[in-house]
Amino acid sequence: MKTYALISVSDKDGLGTVARAFVDKGMSLLATGNTYKKLQDDGFEVKEVSELTEEPERFGGRIKTLHHKILGGILFRPEQDEKEWPYDFRIGAVVCNFYPLDEKGTQETELAPLMEWVDIGGPTMVRAAAKNHEHVWVLTNVAQYSRFTAHMHGDDISIKQRFALEAFDLIAKTDNLVMKHFERIHIPQMGAGELRYGENPHQKASFTPAFRKGLKIYGDFSFNNWRDAEAAFKFVRPFINKAACVIKHQTICGACVENINAEVSENDIFNWAWEGDDKSRFGGVIGLNYMPTEELTKILEKKFLEVLVLPRDEKTEEWAEQIQVKKPKLKILLVAKSEWGEPSDYDRDSRTEVFEGALGRLVQDSDSPEWKAGGEISPESYFLEAAQWMGACSKSNAMAIVGIEDDAKWLCLAGAGQGQPNRVDALKLLALPRAKDFCKRTGFPWDQLICVSDGFLPFPDTIDVLAQNEIMKLVQPGGSKADKDVAEHAMKLNVEMVITNRRHFWH
C-alpha cells in the first residue's frame, strides 16, 4: 500500500526541507493547488489532490480536500481497516498551515470578504490527522519541521502526541480568531463591541456578549459597567424567590432575599437592599430577578443609578424602552429568563471561570449556592445558603453581617467587610460599623443580626469580637484544623456557631 504525505500550506517556508524528509522516509508526495506547483518547480515528483480524488477543485478552490478518499486515507488504521478500504493507498502525514486569517481578517470591514479567509478543508484534515496521530504525522507549523526530521525514523509516540496536541491547539485558536473578527464586524449592531476605554482611560477594551444568554442591551456600557453588571447578575441569578442587590465596584453593598414559602412585596425587597449602604449605593448597579412594579418604577426613576440588570421577556423589554425615555443615561441589561433560577436549571459545567494569564489558562467549574431539587429545601437551609452567598459576593477576606426579619420572610445585608488581609479587620473596621449605621438608619433590631464568614476561622479572635459586640450567631464553612477549638471557645462565650461544610470563598 502506497503511503502519501499530504502537503497543503499557506506558509511555504521550509517546504522543500520537509518534503525531502518525507521522500527519504519512503512516502510519496500529494499536494493541493499552489503547494503542488511549488513542489513541482522545486523538482519533486508530486501528485495533485484532484488527480487522486478524480474530482476538480470546486467553487473557486473552496473545495479541494473535502473528499472521502482524502479523509478516509487520513483516518485509515493499518491492520484494522483494510477490509473497509477499497484503495491501494493511505495518508501517513498531513502538513498544513491555515490561511493567514488574523493578518487578512483585520483588514476586512464586511462579513462577506472576511468569510473567504475562513479555512474549512485545512482544519478538517488537521483534525482528522490529529485524531489518528498514532498512524499519521500532523505538522501545522514551520517550526515543527526540524523536530520532525530529528524523530521521523523513530517509533516514539510522544512526539506524535505532541504534534497532535499542537494541532488541536491551532484549530481552537483559529476558531477563536474567526469569532474575534466576526464579532468585530457584527457585534456593534448589538450595542456591544469596542468600548470607550478599559478599566483605566489608557487601556483599550471591548465586550463580546455570551450569545446563548440572550442579552438585550440598552445604553452605552463602559468596561466597569460590564464588570459591575456581571457581579449583579451573579448574585441574583440563582435565587428561586425574589432577590435584589446593589453593586459598587463589583462588590455587593446591599442585598435582600425573600425566603421560600414567603410573600414579600417587590418594593420591600428592593428597599431593604437599597438601605444596605446609603453611601456606596450612589451611582451603583442594581440587580433584580423580577419585573419592577409600577410603584418601584417610580422609585427607580428618582434614583441615581448606572446600570439595572433584569430577566428578559417581552414585558421587561417594553418596560426598559419606556424607562429609557425618562432616564436616557441609565444602562439596562436584560438576560434571558432561561438563565435565571435554581442552579440545576442551567448547565454549570459549561459556565466555567477562565483566567488567561502569562503562564497559561486556568479553568474551574462555576460556584453557585446549593439548592436541593424537588422542593426538598427548607426555609432555614435556603437562608443559610443565601447568607453565605452574600458573603461570597462581598469578596474575600469577607465578613458579612446579615439580618433576618421577625417572621423570617426575608434576609438582608446589614453590613459587609471585604477585601481585607484578615477577617478580624474586615469585621471590626468595616462590617460592624456599617451594621451599626444600618440598624440606626432603619431601626432593624441588633439582636436579629448574624455574622457570616466566607472562609474558615483558624483562630478564635473573631468570636471574641462578635461576643464583645453582642452578635451571638456565626455561620462559617469550617475546614480549619482549629475548628474544634474555635467551636469550644464559641460555646464558652454563648456564640451560636454553624459550620456548613460548604465554602463560597472568592479570592
List Cβ neighbours of 449 (8 Å cut-off, separation of 6 or more). 401, 402, 403, 414, 435, 439, 471, 473
Task: Tell me which DSSP letter residue 259 carries.
Answer: P
CA 32 from chain centre, in angstroms, equals 39
Q: Does the CA dihedral 243-244-247-253 come out positive or negative?
A: negative
Beta strands in 146-225 (DSSP E): 193-194, 206-207, 216-218
- Which CA distances in Å does 51 have to 31, 46, 56, 388? 10, 11, 8, 67
Decide if 135 is catalytic: no
Q: In 3-state terms, what secondary structure has residue 507?
A: coil
Q: What angle do CA 458, 464, 465 make, to 5 degrees?
A: 100
Catalytic residue of the set 131, 180, 337, 409? 131
List Cβ neighbours of 405 (8 Å cut-off, separation of 6 or more). 411, 412, 448
Decide if 160 is catalytic: no
Catalytic residue of the set 67, 249, 327, 436? 249
Kindly report the three-state secondary structure assignment for every residue of 230-242. HHHHHHHCCCCCC
Cell 453557585 appears where?
368
- Active-site amino acid positions: 131, 249
